[in-house]
Amino acid sequence: MLITKQSSNLAKIIGVVVLLGAVLTGCKSIPENALALKEDSFANRQLQTRKYDTLDEKNLLSASAAVLQDLGYNLDESETALGVLVGSKSRDATDGGQIAAAIFVAALGGGNMAIDERQMIRASIVTRPSVDEGSSLVRVTFQRVVWNTDKVVSRIEAINEQQIYVDFFDRLSKAVFLEGQQI
């Protein structure tokens, strides 16, 4: 009886600490250097940018819009005067590895573990004239928000996998009949 009472008190205290932690994080301020250029800023720029030998930004943008549609995105915003195109899509986010881990945890009596369920992926494409005459730059960036089976946001991140960008620019190059050059 004594042990149960002690452990229930402990549970209450843990609950309180978790609650306070959650409340305090609500007030937490922005991480140091979140808006400063970092060492990886330039590498990301190279990964996300290609140069095309054309000054026809509108053509690059409409080809980019077509590629986004090919990839299942819906267009949210566009401003051709500034060379901006924004698209997004909702997709399944279940991952075989996580399901296996959840089953393993459940088998060990760990209860129901939340796993990633759905994600919203956003892409934005920006064109601009290059400093090299007669050419334009196209930069695409992807990010995603993932919700788990508890409907809680489990990931919120930029997508910087090299292969995704290589594939994207392969498609864009085919669509504009031009070779995309690394910067």
Partner 1 sequence: MKKLGLVVIGLSMAVLAGCGTNVRDQVLDANTGKGQVELRSIQTRAFDTTDKEKTLRTVIATLQDLSFVVDKADLDLGSVSGTKLDGYAVRMTVSVRPRNASQLIVRANAQYNDEPILEPKPYQDFFSALSKALFLDAQAVE
Residues in the site for partner 1, rule: CB under 8 A?
9, 12-13, 16, 19-20, 23-24, 26-37, 41, 44-45, 48, 76-77, 79, 81-84, 86, 122-124, 126, 128, 139, 141-145, 156-158
Instruction: Please say whether the beta carbons of 111 and 105 come within 8 A.
Output: yes
- Tell me the H-state helices in the chain: 2-25, 39-48, 57-70, 96-107, 162-176
| CB 147, min distance to partner 1, A | 13
Q: Are 117 and 153 in contact (CB under 8 A)?
A: no
Give the three-state DSSP class for 28. coil
The residue (of 3 and 81) whose beta carbon lies closer to partner 1 is 81
Place of tokens 């819009």: 65
Write down the least CB distance from residue 3 to partner 1, Å. Answer: 16
| Minimum CB–partner distance for residue 31 and partner 1 (Å) | 7
Q: Which is nearer to partner 1, 18 or 103 (CB)?
A: 18
- At its nearest, how many Å lie between partner 1 and the CB of residue 85? 9
Name which of 28 and 111 has its Cβ closer to partner 1: 28
Pick 66 or 84: Cβ nearer partner 1? 84
Contact 154, 182 (CB under 8 A): no
State the angle between helix axes of 162-176 and 57-70 in degrees (0 to 180), rounded to the nearest 10. Answer: 120
